[in-house]
């Protein structure tokens, strides 16, 4: 167990732990290739062949970028806004994980 990820193992549990404990994330980008390192080929294949995946991945990237700007202090936001964006990013990540498992 580390102070950064907490005791949980799934992405959803880690986010819940972070939000509950108010542990600050240290400007981690959370790029899809880093989130799914064992699925880089599948990510590329989906990007080339699945328009729905492209839409979800683009939305994930946009939200991820906004979260990074907030966490690094380059964009002001309330705690509520930051938490909402993190929950949305997690939802999109769950959808991408499901697509990778189905592929």
This prediction has a pTM of 0.71
Structural element, H or E, at residue 77: none
pLDDT over 70 at 2, yes or no: no
**Do residues 60 and 53 touch, judged by C-beta distance below 8 A?**
no
- pLDDT tens for each residue of 35-59: 999 999 999 999 999 999 999 999 9
Q: Is 50 left (phi over 0), alpha (psi -120 to 50) or beta?
A: beta
pLDDT over 90 at 23, yes or no: no
- pLDDT tens for each residue of 90-99: 999 999 999 9
């Amino acid at each position: 167990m580390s102070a950064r990820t907490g005791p949980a193992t799934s992405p959803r549990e880690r986010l819940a732990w972070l939000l509950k404990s108010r542990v600050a994330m240290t400007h981690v980008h959370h790029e899809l290739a880093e989130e799914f390192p064992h699925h880089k080929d599948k990510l590329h294949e989906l990007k080339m062949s699945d328009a729905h995946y492209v839409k979800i991945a683009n939305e994930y990237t946009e939200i991820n970028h906004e979260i990074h700007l907030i966490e690094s202090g380059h964009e002001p936001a309330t705690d509520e806004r930051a938490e909402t964006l993190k929950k949305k990013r997690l939802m999109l990540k769950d959808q991408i994980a499901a697509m990778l498992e189905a592929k």
